[in-house]
Amino acid sequence: MAVTTFHQATGSIHTHGCRSSFGFQSGIRNYSVNMVSKGFGVDARLIARGNCCSGSCRLSVTRASSSHSSVADPVQIPSKNNSSDSKKKPHETALILIRHGESLWNEKNLFTGCVDVPLTQKGVEEAIEAGKRICNIPVDMIYTSSLIRAQMTAMLAMTQHRRKKVPIITHSESEQAQRWSQISSEETKKQSIPVIAAWQLNERMYGELQGLNKQETADRFGKEKVHEWRRRYDIPPPNGESLEMCAQRAVAYFEEQIEPQLLSGKNVMISAHGNSLRSIIMYLDKLTSQEVISLELSTGIPMLYIFRDGKFIRRGSPVGPSAAGVYAYTKSLALYRQKLDEMFH
pLDDT 10s digits, 134-157: 999 999 999 999 999 999 999 999
Binding-site sequence positions = 99-106, 112-113, 149, 203-206, 214, 230-231, 274-275
Q: Which residues are catalytic?
A: 100, 203
Query: Is residue 256 over pLDDT 60?
Result: yes
- Contact status, residue 201 vs residue 148, Cβ threshold 8 Å: no
Is the confidence at residue 38, as pLDDT, over 80? Answer: no
Closest among 108, 156, 106, 168 to 297, alpha carbons compared: 106
Confidence tier at 5 by pLDDT (50, 70, 90): very low
Between 340 and 196, the higher pLDDT residue? 196
Does position 40 have pLDDT exceeding 60, yes or no?
no
* Among 321, 287, 317, residue whose Cα is nearest residue 305: 317
- Over residues 111-135, the mean pLDDT reads 96
pLDDT at 316: 78
The mean pLDDT value of the chain amounts to 76
**pTM of the full structure:** 0.69
CA–CA dist 190, 196 (Å, integer): 17
Using DSSP, state whether 51 is helix, strand or coil.
strand
Q: Could you tell me the pLDDT band of residue 293, with boundaries at 50, 70 and 90? A: confident
Q: Across the chain, where does the E strand assignment appear?
A: 8-11, 33-36, 46-49, 58-62, 71-76, 92-99, 141-144, 166-169, 192-197, 268-272, 302-308, 311-316
The binding site for substrate comprises 99-106, 112-113, 149, 203-206, 214, 230-231, 274-275
Q: Which residues contact 167 (CB under 8 A, 6 or more apart)?
A: 142, 154, 155, 158, 192, 193, 195
pLDDT confidence band for 106 (50 / 70 / 90): very high
pLDDT in tens, 164-217: 999 999 998 899 999 999 999 999 999 999 999 999 999 999 999 999 998 889
Residue 80 in this model has a pLDDT that exceeds 70: no
Instruction: Please provide the DSSP assignment of 179-207 as one string.
Output: HHT----HHHHHTEEEEEE-GGGSPPP-G
With 50 as the cut, is the pLDDT of residue 46 above it? no
